[in-house]
Amino acid sequence: MRVIITGGSGFLGRALGASLAADGYEVIALSRRPDAVGRLPAGMHAAGWDGRSAAGWADLAEGADAIVNLAGQSLSQWPWTAERKRKFLDSRVNAGRAVAAAVRKVRARPRVVIQSSGVGYYGPRGTEEIPEGTAPGQDFLARLAVKWEASTAEVEALDVRRAIIRTGLPLSLRGGVFPLMRLPFLFMLGGPLGSGRQGIPWIHLDDHVRAIRFLIDRPDAHGPFNLAAPQPCTNGQFAHTLGKVMHRPSIIPVPGFAMRLVGGEMAGLVLTGQRAIPARLAEMGFAFKFAELEHALRDVLRG
């Protein structure tokens, strides 16, 4: 049993790889610098790729159970200059095309390709609940997500099942945006960002891993899935709950104009949002371990 994870050295890939390896899977993390990925969880090992082609690694896809495509340059780099935005897009599209090329080259094709994406696909949506059938938005993040998802669409014509994961805010201290969101609360400066009314579709890291494994194992799982807890919240509600769990105040708002002044377009990551709901996961019977925000935050901050 073999699973290949592009972007497998990141915190999401490591968590998924550790879970799979613990159950006896051979887990391969593709990296452009395999000698520099550091210590991987037991049962995982790194293999090299160039991030844009199947050269040197396509044979690993022969007979694999799954390829999970998480590769893409981090959006946390700022400011979002035109050059940096091009790299965000190219890193994702090139990685997806490389996955499709590897699938095309092998005879015994993988059973499934899991294609990463984000809830940014939907664009800013205010407070409306967003199931997977919602049309894409028009802003940069939405256009990025549309092209990211399309990068591996070819595998479906090769008779390979494909599921798309539109991920919300992963709750973990190991990486991602959450450690930065938590930081002001440590200094008694926590509060809502901007209006506080924007949606935050969050998900505990454990449920993120469990959901991907659920989609790998379910032969009827194809198309887009929102990876977000069934109880989305507003930014203001998130700040209040985080302050409660940390025993810190949550009353100091950060003005949106100040965030845009400092972060530019990148500030849109937290000043706009979506109340994405996991409608299709619910229909298929997936049970969240952490469906309620306070429970999830207490578990994450417990360490």
pLDDT tens, 200-242?
999 999 999 999 999 999 999 999 999 999 999 999 999 999 9
Q: Are 233 and 293 contacting, i.e. CB atoms less than 8 angstroms apart?
A: yes
Give the Cα separation of 239 and 35 in Å (integer).
Answer: 39
The confidence score (pLDDT) of residue 265 equals: 79
The confidence score (pLDDT) of residue 99 equals: 98
Q: pLDDT tens digits, residue range 144-182?
A: 999 999 999 999 999 999 999 999 999 999 998 899 889
Determine whether 222 is exposed, middle or buried from the number of CB atoms within 10 Å of its CB (0-12, 13-18, 19+). middle
Sole residue written with tokens 């891993």:
209
The confidence score (pLDDT) of residue 136 equals: 98
The confidence score (pLDDT) of residue 36 equals: 84
Put residue 288 in one of left, alpha, beta given phi > 0 → left and psi -120 to 50 → alpha: beta
Is 262's pLDDT higher than 80? no
Domain ranges of the chain: 2-174+202-228+277-283
Give the Cα separation of 295 and 206 in Å (integer).
Answer: 13
Instruction: Report which DSSP code applies to 135.
Output: P
Q: Are 48 and 31 contacting, i.e. CB atoms less than 8 angstroms apart?
A: yes
Give the Cα separation of 140 and 112 in Å (integer).
Answer: 28
Determine whether 242 is exposed, middle or buried from the number of CB atoms within 10 Å of its CB (0-12, 13-18, 19+). buried
The confidence score (pLDDT) of residue 6 equals: 98
**Higher per-residue pLDDT: 266 or 161:** 161
Is 255's pLDDT higher than 90? no
The confidence score (pLDDT) of residue 87 equals: 97
Q: pLDDT tens digits, residue range 74-128?
A: 998 878 999 999 999 999 999 999 999 999 999 999 999 999 999 999 999 878 8
Is 139's pLDDT higher than 80? yes
Up-side HSE of residue 40: CA atoms within 13 Å toward CB?
31
> How many other CB atoms sit within 10 Å of the CB of residue 38?
8
Is 263's pLDDT higher than 80? no
The confidence score (pLDDT) of residue 280 equals: 98
Annotation: CATH topology of 2-174+202-228+277-283: Rossmann fold (3.40.50)
* Beta bridge pairs of residue 193: 254
Give the Cα separation of 204 and 216 in Å (integer).
Answer: 19
Give the Cα separation of 261 and 254 in Å (integer).
Answer: 12
Give the Cα separation of 169 and 59 in Å (integer).
Answer: 34
- How much of the chain exceeds pLDDT 70, in percent? 100
Sole residue written with tokens 């929102």:
226
Report the predicted TM-score, pTM, of the whole model to 2 decimal places: 0.96
The confidence score (pLDDT) of residue 53 equals: 98
Q: Which amino acid is at 34?
A: P
